[in-house]
Amino acid sequence: MELAEFREPDQPGFTRRTFSEPYQRSRAWVKELMEAAGLQVRTDPTGNLIGELQGEAPELSQIAVGSHTDTVAGGGRFDGMVGVIGAIEVARLIRQGGQRLRHPLLVADFLGEEPNRFGLSCLGSRAVAGQLSQGHLLRPDESGETLISALLERGSRPADLSEGLWQPERLHCYLELHIEQGSRLQRAGIALGVVTAIAGIHRAVITVSGRPDHAGTTAMNERRDALAGAAEVVLLVERLAREQGEGGSGVGTVGRLEVSPGASNVVPGEARAWAEFRSIEPAWVQDRHLALEAVVAELAARRDLGVSIDWVSAEPPVACSEGVRQAIQEALEGLGQPSLELPSGASHDAAHVAHLCPMGMIFIPSRDGRSHCPEEWTEPEEVALGVAALLATVLRLDRRDTV
C-alpha cells in the first residue's frame, strides 16, 4: 500500500509506468526496503535493482527471486509488487531467523516489465538474459524518441549491458511469486497455485495508411479511410483469436489505437493498432501471426490502403521446470496447503530468466480474477501465505545441489 502511493497524478488507478518520475522515486524506496532487510543492493546497467544475501558457500550458484514494480496505465497494487516485496520479506525472514542459506540469494526488482511506450515489455529481465537487442534499443516512441535515449535519461547505462548479464552457470534457479490475474484459484477455493507454463506472446504494431481528406466534401467512394481499415483489423484480430478448439487457451487483443490527424472533420490519414496474440500452444500463436499477415494484406488491397505489420516481439511459451515445480509442491505439502496446477496467460519476467536456469512460479488468488485495473486485490492473508510458500520453496531448493 505504501508503494502504491508512488503514482502518476494525472493517470487513473495506481499508475506507475516505467519511465515516469514516480516510478523512479519508488525505486529508491524499494532500495531502502532491500537494505533494511539486510541485502547488499546494486543497480545494474539496465536499471534492475538487485539485492544480494551472502550464502554459507559463496562458490555455490545463486538462487534468484524477483518480479517487477512498474504498472500498466490504470493498473493496480499487486501485479509484480507482491513478488518483489515478497522476495524482500523472504530475505528479511531468513536473516531474522538467524538462518543462513548455503547458496547466495539474489532479490531482483526488474526494470519495466509492462509494455512501455516503445512497445516492449520485460526490459530488465530481457537484459539479464541477453535478449535486449540493438533493434529493441533503437525502437522509437510516437515522438521519435528511442528506447536507448529514454534509458540514458533515467540513469541506465545501455552501453554496459554486457556487465549486467546473468551467467547460467552461476544460477541455481529462479522463483517468482505473483498474483494469478485470473479467477481459477478463487473458483477452486484454493489459495496457492503452482504454475506449469507461461503463455507465449506475439505483439505487433500495425500501421494503416490512407489519405487525409475533407470529411464534408470527399464522397464515400473516394475515401481511403485509415481508421475504417484499422477498425477491420480490430475485428480480424478478434475473429482469428476465436478460431480454436474447445477449451483452447488462446487470446487476441487490440489494446491501443492511435488515429491521425485525429479531427472529427478530417478523414483519418493514418491509424496504428497495437495487437497481440497469446497462448500456451506455440503452433496456435504462430498460426495467428501468419493468418493476420494474410488477412491484413487482403484488407489493404480491398480498401486501397497501405498496411504494414511491425512484429515488436514474438516470445514462445515457456514451461516451468520440473525440478522447481516439484520443490514448490513439496513446500506446499509441508505447509499443509492444497495447491492447484495452472498455466499463466499473463507474461512474466520469469519467462525470460527461464532461458538461463530452472524456473518456477507460485500464484496467489486475484479477487474476481481482476487485474490490470485499480480493483486488483488479494487478501493480506493470501499474500502472507504466498510469501510463506516462497520462503519454504527457497529453503527446500537451497538444500539441493542440483534442481
**Residues 6 or more apart whose Cβ sits within 8 Å of residue 301:** none
Binding partner selected for residue 180 from ligand GLV, Mn ion, none, CB under the kind-specific 5 to 8 Å limit: none
Amino acid (1-letter code) at residue 217: T
176 interacts with Mn ion by CB under 5 A: no
Q: Find out whether 343 and 180 touch, Cβ atoms under 8 Å.
A: no
Helix (H), strand (E) at residue 186: helix 184-188
* Measured CA distances, 294 to 299, 300, 348, 357, 394 (Å): 9, 10, 30, 37, 47
In whole angstroms, what is the distance from residue 324 CA to residue 332 CA? 12
**Min CB(273)–Mn ion separation in Å:** 20
Grid coordinates of 226: 485509415
Tracing cell 505487433 back to the chain, one arrives at 204
Binding partner selected for residue 347 from ligand GLV, Mn ion, none, CB under the kind-specific 5 to 8 Å limit: ligand GLV
Q: Which of 80, 112, 115, 317 binds Mn ion (CB under 5 A)?
A: 80
Nearer Cβ to ligand GLV, position 114 or 176?
Answer: 114
**Min CB(119)–Mn ion separation in Å:** 15
Alpha helices (H) along 181-274: 184-188, 226-242
Nearer Cβ to ligand GLV, position 48 or 371?
Answer: 371
**Min CB(6)–ligand GLV separation in Å:** 19
Nearer Cβ to ligand GLV, position 61 or 347?
Answer: 347
**Min CB(347)–ligand GLV separation in Å:** 4
55 interacts with Mn ion by CB under 5 A: no
Select from 281, 277, 275 the least CA-distant residue to 307.
275
Nearer Cβ to ligand GLV, position 209 or 279?
Answer: 279
In whole angstroms, what is the distance from residue 211 CA to residue 20 CA? 35
Binding partner selected for residue 164 from Mn ion, ligand GLV, none, CB under the kind-specific 5 to 8 Å limit: none
Amino acid (1-letter code) at residue 246: E
In whole angstroms, what is the distance from residue 156 CA to residue 305 CA? 40
Binding site for ligand GLV (CB under 6 A): 114, 346-347
79 interacts with Mn ion by CB under 5 A: yes
Residue closest to Mn ion when measured from CB atoms: 80
Nearer Cβ to ligand GLV, position 249 or 326?
Answer: 249
Nearer Cβ to ligand GLV, position 254 or 388?
Answer: 254
Q: Binding residues for Mn ion, per CB under 5 A?
A: 79-80
